[in-house]
Structure 1
Amino acid sequence: MGSPSIRDVAAHAGVSVGTVSNVLNRPAKVSGPASERVLAAIKELGFVRNDAARQLRAGRSKTIGLIVLDVRNPFFTDLARGAEDQAATAGLSVILGNSDEDPDRESTYLDLFEEQRVLGVLVSPFGNVTERLERLRERGTPAVLVDRSADGSGFSSVSVDDVAGGRLAVEHLLAQGRRRIAFIGGPFEIRQVEDRHSGAERAVERHPGVSLEVVEVRALSVIAGRAAGEAIAARRPEDRPDAIFAANDLIAMGVLQALLMRGGAGITVPDDIAIVGYDDIDFASAAVVPLSSIRQPSALIGQTAVEILLEEAENPSSPRRQVVFQPELIVRESTMGSGAR
């Protein structure tokens, strides 16, 4: 036997289908006794309303689609939590999609969200999604970029000034006397990686005699950071950097693990190599050597993006907004040792 329908409920309660619909959607219109019979029938039959179908008939669902680069990264987990909390205040829910830094997968999620007729889309893009988002907007689905500036694309965005963050990180290392700095990050197709590297370059340009080496990795992950750290640890001491700026905390933690596991190489953090990460995830402060990091207001980014999305859903002609938060340097033991040069 299939799931009970609204007609089954009506027959069981001895009322019309319209009465059952009113109990579900406009209960104030139904008298007490009739409402009680309908509710009892729903309970006895185990009826579950098809909310998705109802929302499709209404033209728009009560959900927001969110696409992030890597759901394993705690930064995006916190961002999603902020979006979810803000959406809940408006009676909405958030569907999370993980692009895994894959433009095809990103496109698939955008197709899925359009099919589901979500109220709006939040996306931390990997590929160039401007044209795709424009088509969504033409069909009535607003979109807001998160953790990425809009760059004149005509969309609202909520981001952090990653160029300033990269500059903050390297200026801190320079203030500790470091002169051979390595930037570890990638892929550079990710705008945030490029911006953080650009900020590092700007800091170095102001200091003659300081070098900035680029170590590109394929992913913003602990495993990629560990591989980069092992390669650096295997170098001769005079060929190693004396400081590392990692594009995110996951890479920084992988580098830290590699350096500490190479006990035979005699490398200590921060005396021999200082490390700064980015994002200030919870694990940064709990690392074996607590990591200095550039903090982003991850939950606030998600909350603000939902606020803007709801404004645009209510009024599609509202002015587009670009909200840019400033990063903050958090100093811990990974940069504040006795080996300042």
Structure 2
Amino acid sequence: MSVGTVSNVLNRPDIVRAATVERVRAAIAELGFVRNDAARQLRAGRSTTIGLLVLDVRNPFFTDVARGAEDEADSHGLSVVMANSDESPEREAAHLDYFETQRVLGMLISPIKDPGDRLERLRAAGTPVVLVDRTAGTRNLSSVAVDDVEGGRMAAQHVLDLGRRRLAFVGGPPDLEQMQDRLAGVESAVGAVPEASVEAIATKALTFEDGRLAAKALLGRPPAQRPDAILAGNDLVAIGALQVLMGEGRLRIPEDVAIVGYDDIDFASAAVVPLSSVRQPRELIGQTAVRILREEAEDPGLGPRHVVFEPELVVRASTTGRAD
């Protein structure tokens, strides 16, 4: 049996007789043959792997983004390898090093701070880079994100319309662009209501435990100094805060404190008090980012593109007292 016949069975079985395909596959199974895709990609001069670098793999938001990215990649014969920076600049740099040495087709990244010159150099050298859940600003990079300023504004406007006046924005780290934008949106809504105020409470990260710690600190204050509405940086923070306020604080949600999360992950609607949240199109973000990356890989002359989705406020019992 010729090498050409085996190659056709592996790559173009539709042009080979069924009986021959069966014999070749039986021989492959008997020999335990595994195709060397790395060698194939080297010969072709093009990888079929996309690197995805996220801030925190524990956050279901990024899991859903990855699912959308994988769906889009798979439909074009590509694969996605996900790495976790864990909000560490050192880990972020190490993962970028790895993706670069592996000659990936391109990189999707949710950076910790300003992406810097390195990502622009990668793009200029022929490796497409798309920022995910982050706008590119003045950088010469494509990006896919949600209008977080509007998301923060609509969350604040919702609780203001319900009569809440002492608002707290709980989330961090404060140097994350997403947190800065969401807080800016909150402040814009509060600024239009003279008797309203907002306090920014920074957390180290955007985890369930960070929400718990912030809520415990609030419980240590006299009741009159506590907020009557909490706008969380994401749903994990919101659910952590909700658990402590209801459990240890014996507070009523939303009668004593209204809570709004961000992202609308699956856990939001399943919380002990269903959580109002600002919804992001998580899987669509991943799909769109891969589509842009793939198009840039096929046509390096394409300029950077910026897709900004509009957020949606999903109202539930944590602010209205009823499961709408």
Shorter chain as denominator, the TM-score bin is over 0.9
Taking the aligned partners of 2:83 and 2:175, their CA distance within structure 1 comes to 20
2:280 equivalent in structure 1:
296
**What is the aligned counterpart of 2:70 among 60, 71, 84?**
84
Amino acid at match of 1:101: E
Matched residues, number: 322
Q: CA deviation at 1:42?
A: 2.1
Taking the aligned partners of 1:335 and 1:62, their CA distance within structure 2 comes to 46
1:145 equivalent in structure 2:
131
Per-residue displacement from partner, 1:135-184 (whole Å, max 9, x unpaired)? 22233210111111111211111100000100101111100101111110
Aligned identity (percent) is 62
1:219 equivalent in structure 2:
205
Per-residue displacement from partner, 1:293-331 (whole Å, max 9, x unpaired)? 101000111111111111111111113211100111111
Work out whether residues 49 and 104 of structure 2, in 8 Å CA contact, stay in contact via their aligned partners in 1. yes
**What is the aligned counterpart of 1:256 among 228, 236, 242?**
242
Taking the aligned partners of 1:117 and 1:205, their CA distance within structure 2 comes to 49
Amino acid at match of 1:166: G
Q: CA deviation at 1:91?
A: 1.0
1:203 equivalent in structure 2:
189
Gapped regions of structure 1 (runs ≥ 5): 1-12
Work out whether residues 65 and 118 of structure 1, in 8 Å CA contact, stay in contact via their aligned partners in 2. yes
Alignment TM-score, normalising by the size of structure 1: 0.89
**What is the aligned counterpart of 1:244 among 223, 230, 234?**
230
Q: CA deviation at 1:260?
A: 0.9
Gapped regions of structure 2 (runs ≥ 5): none
**What is the aligned counterpart of 2:40 among 54, 58, 66?**
54
SS of 1:334's partner is helix
**Any residues of structure 2 matched to 1:260-299 within 5 Å, and which?**
260-262=246-248, 265-299=249-283
Taking the aligned partners of 2:16 and 2:251, their CA distance within structure 1 comes to 76
Taking the aligned partners of 2:74 and 2:234, their CA distance within structure 1 comes to 29
1:118 equivalent in structure 2:
104
Alignment TM-score, normalising by the size of structure 2: 0.93
Residues 74 and 28 of structure 1, relative CA distance in 2, 3 Å threshold? closer
SS of 1:125's partner is coil
2:218 equivalent in structure 1:
232
SS of 2:317's partner is coil
Work out whether residues 56 and 117 of structure 1, in 8 Å CA contact, stay in contact via their aligned partners in 2. no
Taking the aligned partners of 2:11 and 2:195, their CA distance within structure 1 comes to 71
Q: Which has the larger radius of gyration?
A: 1
1:171 equivalent in structure 2:
157
SS of 2:134's partner is coil
2:95 equivalent in structure 1:
109
Q: CA deviation at 1:63?
A: 1.2
SS of 1:335's partner is helix
